[in-house]
Structures are given as structure tokens and as C-alpha cells.
Structure 1
Amino acid sequence: MNTVSAEKAAALCIGNNIISGFFSKPVKKDLPIQKIKLRKIVLKNQEQYQLEIFEGTKAFHKNILPQNLQKELESFFWDFKIAEFSSSKNWLIFLQNNKGLIHFKTKAVKKENHPNKADVSSTEIFEHNKQKEYILSTSEMPIFLKKLNFFTDEGKIIQSKYHKFRQINKYLEFIKSVLPELKDLLKEKKELQIADFGCGKAYLSFALYYYLTEIESLPVKICGLDLKEDVIDFCNNLSKECGFKNLVFKAGDIGRFNFDKDPDMVISLHACDTATDLVIAKAIKSNTKIIFAVPCCQHELNTQIRKNKDKVIKSFSPMLDYGIITEKFASLLTDTIRGKLLESEGYRVSVEEFIETEHTPKNILIKAVKLDDNSKTKTVLIEKAKEEFKEIKQAFLIEPCLEKLLNGN
């Protein structure tokens, strides 16, 4: 790993023609900015770099012309200990130690499913993978993706947006898998009620609305919830611009939120720690038919397992000597428990990969569909899940948040 100055680090980013990246872990604890995301965009046929700057619970945006990027990057390299960037060919990784020295390393980016390893645009990759039959087509250019700068004026996917485009389509594949259940619900009502908790900028909320209304022609009302009022304002304005009259967004806390009508489907993508449990509990208590959850950071059971390390089953105890293994195990155990508690409430549960691990380590998606009361397997499923959950609790001496929420504690 080489040592570089802030000026050299910035020059390496410019020289490699970076397309996205981030700065994190401020050098000074009192720095108001906690994280900065960067991505290349095209505005009015001109390439620019958009910064997303996170201060507390708010996020601000700033666009920079390429000729001004060097100076901006130099200042950020002084202020943050970690920086990672991607170009079409390389990953660039910068780590600043406590002495202020910036260490640099790089690794090649894999070109997936392409016959030659030369640089290739994201549109070309998309054309090569047409056999995957993406639900959203580039030829039609959905209005919300156009307004979110996914496409150039010529209708081609911007390279830095390609992986997000794939993620959106992957998400819609999961939604497509529950279309029979959604259509059955519409036999008894005029409109589907859907809640999206922790929606953020709501790329997936917009994709969901577009898919269900424009492609499947289903009547739906979707409500997205997030804590950041500026983000909610942005989403509501975009929804109006797109003419999505039944896609609305509200600012609020998951724990205090009350449904106007019981939802038919509840979605929670990357809600931190026990916020995912809050969403699942609300959905279960509201008799929600379909639940999708992609958990984020998970700390609750990690703390409990460490505390009871010497009391758990001896064969597991040595594994708990290593912090990172305990953390990963606790995360998997948390999602196992969520699955078992959902099954004990009469849901058919599957746990699947949401997006490739090379793009995010938080890639587990929990899909739960409530079984009809006349289902022959429902009673057996419930009793089996209750017994398995009981055994897990006894083995690891834990008190999961979701169980407490379901019991009203």
C-alpha cells in the first residue's frame, strides 16, 4: 500500500476518471459532516459530479464541474479517514492513519459477463444482457428515472447509475412474484394499500408505483415514510411532476406512525437495527398480507450474545472469541428469528439475496406472505416455528426485540 498526499490522492481520482465513491469517518469528531457520497451525472448534456453531503439527519446536494473537482477532493481527503471510489476499470481505496498519512491501494473492477475485458459503457453491458428481460425497459425511459438522471438526453443509461438500475429491476422481480396474491386482494377491494418505511430518496417506491400502475394496471396507493423532511419534500415534488397521484410521502418515525387503513403490503428496506422489527411487528398486528424487509445494521443480539458468552452451548462458545464472527453470526441469527416469528404468525417465509454482495453486504431480503386460514399446512408451520424459536432462545439466552413487540411489551 503506497503513501500519498491529499493532492496526489485527488489527482489519482481525476486521472482514473472516477464515476462514484464516498468519504467517511471524519478525522475530527466535531466535524458536522459525517459522510459524503459522490457520483458522476449528466446535466444538460454536460458531465458533472454530484455530492451528497450528510450532516446529522439531513442530506444536502452540490454539483461540481469536472475542472473544479480536484480542489474539492483535496479538502475532503484532509477531513476524512476513509475514501473509496470506482472508475470503469479500478477501485481506488484511501485510508488515513492517526498520523495523517494517507495510504492508497487499487484493485481491478470485474467486467461481468462481457466477452472482452476492455472498458465498456453500461448501456453496452445492458445490451449484452438483454436475455435477462429486465422489467423496466430502457427503450421506454420511465419518467421517474429520467427525472432522477438515470438517462442521458439520448436515452442511454448513465454508467454510474447502471448498478442501481439493476437493483431496481431485481426488486421488481420480487414484487412480480407476489402478483397473484395482490390480484386476489383486489377481488375484495378497489385499491391496494402499500406502506414503504424508511423510503429515503424512494427510487424503489417510485419503481413500485410505476410497475404496479403503468405496467400491471393495478389500482394502488403507496405511502412512503422517512425521518428527513427535506427528502420527503423532494419525493412529494417528484411524485407530482411524474403525475403519480396516489404516491405520497410523509415525514415521521416508524414507532409513532399509524396507518390510515390497514396495509395490504408493507416494505422496509435498510431500516437500521430494531427499526426493522418495529416495521414487521406493525405489519403483523395490522394483518398485512405481504411483507418485504431488507435489514440493515443489527446490534441488539450481538450485545446479548457477548454478555451471555460463557453460558451458551459450549460448542458455540469458541466462535464468540472473535468479534467480527460474533457480529456476523448475530446478524444471521437476528434474521433467522425474524423468519421464525413470522412463521409462528402464519406467514410463509423465504430469505433471498437482494443484490450481489459486491455492491452491498446488506443483501438479505425477507419475504413473508400470510397463509389463508384454510391452508392445510398453516397450523403445522406455526407450531413448528414456535418450537424452533423456543429452542433458539434457550440456546443463546436472548430476548429478541421483535418478540417483545409482538407481545405488546
Structure 2
Amino acid sequence: MNKQAINKLKFMLSSIIIRAEENVDFLKGVEISFKSGNREYKGIYDIDNKNLFYNGQNFKIELSELCDFICGEALKYDSLEFSLFERGKTTILMADNKNIKIKNIDEEISQNEKEHEWTNLKRNYYIKIGEADELLKAIGILTNDGKLKNDMIRKYNQIDHFVELIDSYLDELKDLDTINVLDCACGKSYLTFVLNYYIKEKKKKNCYFIGIDTSETVIENSKKIASKLGYKNMVFLKENIKNFVPDRRIDIVISLHACDIATDMALGAAINFNAKAIFAVPCCHRELLEQIKYEELQDIFKHGILKSRFADVLTDGIRGLLLEAAGYKVSIVEYVSPLDTPKNLLIRAIKVSDKNPKALEKYLAIKEKFSINPYLERYVLGML
């Protein structure tokens, strides 16, 4: 290639590599192919080890140095093709003395259509089998040959419906360069992995995930899955929610089935970190059951099951009201069918103001009426 073409190549290639450096957590690899006549010379660059295997040799080279290396080699050949592989996207640059072209290719389904046993579920899935097979296999939803496990149909529906319920809220964060997500009491991290895939590969947004849990076992397992999937934009920490201090801005806090006040800890962390959005599916409710005192309802509360159900409703209602007091717009919706699980409410909260004094007044009146002292209160009253 002549020097004029090389100068143009250097300008265009450097812009691709600069962007790649900014998104290095999402890079899978780089391939280079030089051509001279009918002969082709290929090179493969290993992002993690910063190693280029080319023309039978290994070169230790930084990603930032790759542009100069390629342009230097291009002087010896007639043309080249440079391919940058990212999660959900491939960028291809083709160059010769006549022209330089760049094309972007979104990852597509390997087959036009795939027949699955789950098609009778009659649902337009956000996390589609056929597109997300690598992910769904890694988290145990699919078998190694790509079939949906019978005992995971319910879990698959739950995680996909979670994505559906928060999809529009993700669009409200479109101005952020990177969406930072904290998963409190992450457990097996189903949601964390699914959202990572969906935000990056379907919504085409950069993202970063932090999963915290007190169980060493689940943290180590999540680390292994992240490594297997090549999800470098994730960290998993053995940590108590109460003690966690983030090293970056937190935009979204999620929590799925954190038991009793662990949900309140997650909500409280979101308030402390001034998160822009919160999505929590509570689990068991024990805290207020023994606290509630309301003489007018004693004839109803003498039936333990009714008092327990009332305590459940009051707990989540109080959570919504306290989040409103902290400046969030709150909706509480049915997450999945109660036939799947009785713990089927999703608390959605979007930050809209610094605080809401009227909501706080309403909360304090309810607190006095039922003689309760909810755990979440300490986070809200501490900021007002």
C-alpha cells in the first residue's frame, strides 16, 4: 500500500483503537489479514495477554501500539482487513490503495429460526433462545445442546419478565456513558448476568456490574461464570450490604428475593448512593409482624395468617412510602404470577427529587398508628 493510503488508514484505524481502549472490558479479540497477490498473512491479537501472533512470531504489544504496527506492516502488502470483535458487535476495516471502508455488524442469530420445546409458552422473549444461548447455558437455563431445561422454565420466565418490567426505565438512562449496576445479595446472579447481556448486547450501552453477597460459595461461582462468558465488566465481592462502599457512581440497584430486612438494606444502600433507579423483589417479611399494634384490628389479627398477610402488605407499602420521602417515584407491581411464588411483587423506584416532605408526613402518621419502627427508616430520616 502506498503512503497516501497508509496515512488515511492510520487516521481511521487509530479512531477505532481509541474507542476500543475506552471499551476494553467488552473486547473479545482482534484479527488482522494482510494480502499480497493471492497470498494471505493472518495475525491474531490477544487482548488479555497483549500478545500478537503474526507471521509465525509472537509480539508483545500494547493495544495503543497496534495501529502503528499495522500501518508499518501494511507498506509491504496490497491490502488488509482488520476485525475488532466486541460483545454484541464486530467492526471491520478493509483497506487498499483505492479505498478504505468500515462496516459494523451486530451479532445475529446463527440460524434464521430455531425450533424449541418452549415455543408453546407464547411469549415474545427479551432474552431469546437462539440469540443468548451462550449466556443461558452458562447460568444453567439451557442444556449443553441448547434445550430449555424443564425445571428451569419458571426461572427463565421470571428473569425475562424482570427485563421486560425495567426495559423502559433503562431508556431513561440513555444519557449516561456507562450504566453502573449494583446487585445486593446477588446469590447465583441470574439477573446480573442477564442484564449485563441485555444492556450491552441488545440496548448497545456500556455497563458495569457489582455483585455482593455474604456467601463465599455463590461469589466464587459467579466469578467463574463471568470468566467463562468473558464478561470483564463485572466484579463479585463477599461483602455485607451494610458495610459496602462503592468505588464509583451507582446508577441502578437491584435485589431479587433478599430475605427480610436484607431488602431494606438494599433499598437503604440505593438511597445512600443516590441511585437513579431501584428494582427490588422482596422475599420473606418478618420485621413488622411482631411490632404491629392496632387495637381496632385485634379481632382480625387474632388469626395469625391474616396478621401475617397484613404485615407483608404494610411492609412493602411502607418501603414505597419511604422511598417516595427520599425523592423517588415509586410503583409496586406484580412481578410474576402468585402461582409461581407468593413473593411476587416488584418495587420500582426512579429518582425524581431530593426529598418529598409530604410522603414523610404520611409515613410518620402510619408509623404512629401501628406502633412500628421499620429498619428502612434509618436511611431515610438520616438524609432528611
- Code of the residue aligned with 2:365 in structure 1: it is E
Aligned-residue RMSD, C-alpha: 1.9
For residues 131-179 of structure 1, the C-alpha deviation after alignment (integer angstroms, 9 at most, x for no partner) is x311011122431211233223442212111111111110111220202
CA distance in 2, matches of 1:154, 1:168: 21
- Which residue type is aligned with residue 198 of structure 2? Y
Q: Separation in 2 of the partners of 1:204 and 1:282? A: 18
State the partner residue of 1:195.
182
Hey, what does 2:380 align to over in structure 1? 406
> Please, which of 291, 294, 300 is the counterpart of residue 281 of structure 2?
294
The residue type paired with residue 221 of structure 1 is Y
The normalised TM-score by structure 2 is 0.66
TM-score, normalized by length of structure 1?
0.63
Q: Tell me the residue number matched to 1:248.
A: 235
Tell me the secondary structure at the aligned position of residue 289 of structure 2: helix
Any unmatched runs of 5+ in structure 2?
1-114
Q: Is the 8 A contact 2:322 2:380 kept in 1?
A: no
Deviations 1:37-61 (A, max 9, x none): xxxxxxxxxxxxxxxxxxxxxxxxx
Whether the 8 Å CA contact 1:170–1:355 is kept in 2: the answer is: yes
Q: How far apart, CA to CA, are the structure 1 residues paired with 2:169 and 2:251?
A: 12
Query: Residues of 2 paired with 1:345 and 1:338: CA distance?
Result: 11
Among 97, 116, 124, which residue is 1:133 paired with? 124
- Give distance in 2, aligned partners of 1:227 and 1:362: 22
State the secondary structure of the residue aligned to 1:301: coil
Does the 8 A contact of 1:313 with 1:395 survive in 2?
no
Larger radius of gyration, structure 1 or 2? Answer: 2
3-state secondary structure, aligned to 1:298: coil
Deviations along 1:345-367, one digit per CA (max 9) or x if unpaired, are 11110001112111211111100
- The 1-side partners of 2:228 and 2:281 are apart by 29
**CA 1:344–1:408 in 2, change beyond 3 Å: closer, same or farther?**
closer
Corresponding position: 1:226 with 2:217? no
Q: Aligned equivalents of 2:135 and 2:242: distance in 1? A: 29
User: Is 2:293 the partner of 1:324?
Assistant: no
CA–CA separation in structure 2 for the residues paired with 1:389 and 1:313: 19
- 1:177/1:331 Cα in 2 relative to 1: closer, same or farther (>3 Å)? same
Output the CA distance in 1 between the equivalents of 2:170 and 2:132: 23
- 5+ long unaligned stretches in structure 1: 1-121, 374-378
Query: Sequence identity, in percent?
Result: 41
Map of 2:335 onto structure 1: 354
Q: Distance in 2 between matches of 1:196 and 1:355?
A: 20
Give, in whole Å, the separation in 2 of the partners of 1:149 and 1:328: 33
1:386 counterpart residue number: 360
Q: Deviations over 1:91-129 (max 9, x none)?
A: xxxxxxxxxxxxxxxxxxxxxxxxxxxxxxx944x3134
Rounded to whole Å, the distance in 2 between the matches of 1:148 and 1:282 is 27
The separation in 2 between residues aligned to 1:344 and 1:180, in whole angstroms, is: 24
Amino acid at match of 2:206: P
C-alpha contact (below 8 Å) 2:271/2:326 kept by paired residues: yes
1:9-408 correspondence runs (5 A): 123-124=116-117, 126-130=118-122, 132-184=123-175, 186=176, 190-305=177-292, 308=293, 312-314=294-296, 316-371=297-352, 382-408=356-382
Q: In the aligned structure 2, how far is the partner of 1:255 from the partner of 1:165?
A: 30
Deviating more after overlay: 264-273 vs 398-407 = 398-407
Distance 1:345 1:408 in 2: 10
Shift of 1:242: 0.3
Q: Give the total of aligned pairs.
A: 269
C-alpha distance in structure 2 between counterparts of 1:144 and 1:224, whole Å? 17
